[in-house]
Amino acid sequence: MRRLLLCCLALAASGHAFADVGLLERLVGAFSRDSLWKHVQERCLVPATPTHTDCVVVDRQRGFVLYKDAIGASHYLVIPDQPVGGVEDPRVWSDGKTHSAWTFGWQARDIVAKSIGKPLPDPLVGLAINARASRSQDQLHIHLDCISDRARDFLTTNKIGTQWTDLSFQGKPVRAMLIPSAQPTLTVDPFDVVRQSAGGKEIADRGVFVGYIQPAGGVAGFVVVDEPVDKAAGGNGHASDFLDRGCKLGRALPSDG
């Protein structure tokens, strides 16, 4: 059954089958919510010299692993090398973090371009973490992949400024904020950006997405999208909906970029 579900997910990622990839991911994850962490330990962290191809980068000094996801040729995961549950873990929102998983993932973004065999402009790459209510695994993992065409439209058609703006994405309530940055260098931790806006209050379950924009004649920078879980309003915190495992936008580019 697990093999069948994984096959269905692979087909969905390529655009030939089920549209609700998130549902299938949760079905697969229901078999074991710690399987991701076990795989990372066994393949990347326990061996003195990791040799498994899924262990793309193992940086014990910074405390992260860049791990190849099983579904989607261009899909990768940024995972701490220590057990961290997810967005519900207080350590995620601490301003005393030595290193940022988001910065680690963004610096590794070229792996997405290599996976599809052609250059990718920074505005077509994104990072996302899902809420506890919408994830399949209980080890913190930030998704790295191409953004979807809907995410591109969201980022380019909405007026997003340096203050939080309430918006909607695929019918779900979100809020977005621009962190100006002329160069595509992520120097802030999106977790901290969201935490600071909470005014010291407890951080509720939520998803977070980060993408880069370079509008013609506008202000370039990183857009942080906050997607709290709000069942009454239809918000499920599934921020990886901003990404596209099939990388349609990237594959449509000419090979010379």
pLDDT 10s digits, 213-225: 999 989 999 999 9
Q: Which residues, listed in sequence order, are joined to residue 139 by a DSSP beta bridge?
A: none
pLDDT tens-digit series, residues 76-117: 999 999 999 999 888 888 777 888 999 999 999 999 999 999
Percentage of the chain with pLDDT > 70? Answer: 86
Q: How confident is the model at residue 199 (pLDDT cuts 50, 70, 90)?
A: low
In terms of domains, do 24 and 71 share one? no
Q: Are residues 55 and 151 in the same domain?
A: yes
Q: Does residue 3 sit in the same domain as residue 91? A: no
Would 256 be classed as within a structural domain?
no
Report if residue 7 sits inside a domain. yes
Q: Which residue has the higher pLDDT, 27 or 145?
A: 145
- How many folded domains does the chain comprise? 2
Is the pTM above the cut of 0.95? no
Domain containing residue 153: CATH number: 3.30.428.30
Buried b / exposed e over 63-100, threshold 16 CB at 10 Å, is bbbbbbbebbbbbbbbbbbeebebbbeeebbeeeeeeb
How far apart, in whole angstroms, are the C-alpha atoms of residue 38 and residue 43?
Answer: 8
**26 shares a domain with 89:** no
Query: Which residue range forms the structural domain that includes residue 25?
Result: 1-31
- Give the mean pLDDT of the chain: 88
Contacts of 183 (CB under 8 A, 6+ apart): none
